Amino acid sequence: MNAIISASELASDLTGSNPPVVLDVRWQLSVAKAAGEPPFDGRAAYAAGHIPGAVFVDLDRELASAPGARGRHPLPEVADFGAAMRRAGVSAGTPVIVYDGGQGWAAARAWWMLRWTGHPDVRVLDGGLPSWEGPLETAEPTPAEGDFVPRPGAVELLDADGAAALARSGILFDARAGERYRGEVEPIDRVGGHIPGAVSAPTTENVAADGRFLPAEELHARFKALGVSDDTPVGVYCGSGVSGAHEVLALAVAGIPAALYVGSWSEWSSDPSRPVAVGPDPQ
């Protein structure tokens, strides 16, 4: 099953015999508070217009727990996540389509969470809401309660020690911008740099100018050039397990399974005992 879906395919599926549950996960990483600007309000954006029937999902409250020692977007309690998905109408036997405002990061986090907890049929709208050419609605739906029961472990999850080991034994991709990987700037976390041995692979290079993923063969060639071979175990991290999920999604489009280190740099860099590498060299 493809991990992404086009807007035209979604429009067709919504009129089919088994229409998908659609989740709107609009969210933005905001550093605007330092400048006194209000943070992005995904729920307000949803209320102003969303794909008909879509249910809003709050990334910070339903796809993560409170920031702390485990990072800025640690995993939520599994029971809480399951309850949120059932409230949104998610059932095990119903396809799920997830979209966001076009960046793809938040939608990928929801996709990864559902895949990790065992949902068999979940895809991301390629290009997000900007790719949708159909009507929008402002009414908030009241879906029937779903029956999805999360069972974690369907895809691989890394912790800090696992990420460190994979950087030595396989390929660990750093999905953040290159300047953060090199330690030249760090606008959010305690210190700049990267996990020793990690390879820089900014997630922004997985998509075209319109936010849609590059063709699968181009993505496969990109990751192969970065060191992935048929038998290479692959992992990904980012700042807090959001853009890293987008890289895991890109790897899935390319036909390459990959694990996600959800704690990512926000967890790693908060522990002074963890080594930090700087500069363009992985080591």
- The H or E element that residue 6 is part of is none
For residue 88, what are the contacts with CB-CB under 8 A and spacing of at least 6? Answer: 21, 23, 55, 57, 143, 146
- 67, HSE (Cβ side, Cα atoms, 13 Å): 13
DSSP 216-283: HHHHHHHHHHTT--TT--EEEE-SSSSHHHHHHHHHHHTT---EEESSHHHHHTT-TTS--B-SSS--
Minimal CA–CA distance to 110: which of 40, 156, 45, 59? 59
Round to whole Å and give the CA distance between 140 and 142: 7
Residues in the chain: 283
pLDDT at 161 over 90: yes
Round to whole Å and give the CA distance between 122 and 155: 13
pLDDT at 15 over 70: yes
pLDDT at 74 over 60: yes
76-100 b/e with 16+ CB inside 10 Å = b?
Answer: beeeebbbbbbebbbbeebbbbbbb
Reported confidence tier of residue 51, pLDDT bands at 50, 70, 90? very high
Query: pLDDT exceeding 90 applies to what percent of the chain?
Result: 92
Contact predicate 265/189, CB 8 Å:
yes
pLDDT at 150 over 60: yes
Q: What average pLDDT does range 209-216 have in this prediction?
A: 96
Reported confidence tier of residue 133, pLDDT bands at 50, 70, 90? very high
pLDDT score of 73 = 96
Among 28-42, 184-198, 251-265, which is the least confidently predicted range? 28-42
pLDDT one-digit tens code per residue, 223-271: 999 999 988 999 999 999 999 999 999 999 999 999 999 999 999 999 9
pLDDT score of 188 = 87
Helix residue ranges per DSSP H, the chain: 7-14, 42-48, 59-62, 78-87, 105-116, 160-169, 178-181, 216-225, 243-253, 264-268
Round to whole Å and give the CA distance between 53 and 23: 9
Among 27-41, 150-164, 174-188, 251-265, which is the least confidently predicted range? 27-41
Range 181-188, long-range pairs (CB < 8 A, 24+ positions): 182/278, 182/279, 182/280, 183/276, 183/278, 183/279, 187/31, 188/31, 188/72, 188/239, 188/266
108 labelled catalytic = no
Q: What average pLDDT does range 133-139 have in this prediction?
A: 96
pLDDT at 33 over 80: no
Question: How would you classify the pairing of strands 55-56 and 171-174?
Answer: unpaired
- The H or E element that residue 64 is part of is none
Contact predicate 258/246, CB 8 Å:
no
Average pLDDT, the chain: 95
Contact predicate 237/245, CB 8 Å:
no
Minimal CA–CA distance to 246: which of 204, 215, 216, 209? 204
What is the pTM for the complete model shown? 0.95
Backbone φ, ψ for residue 219 (5° rounding): -65, -40
**Which residue(s) pair with 137 in the sheet?**
50
Q: What average pLDDT does range 149-170 have in this prediction?
A: 97
Spot the catalytic one: 54, 238, 249, 259.
238
pLDDT one-digit tens code per residue, 106-131: 999 999 999 999 999 999 999 999 99
Contact predicate 199/173, CB 8 Å:
yes
Minimal CA–CA distance to 181: which of 146, 157, 150, 205? 205
Q: What average pLDDT does range 9-35 have in this prediction?
A: 86
Reported confidence tier of residue 54, pLDDT bands at 50, 70, 90? very high
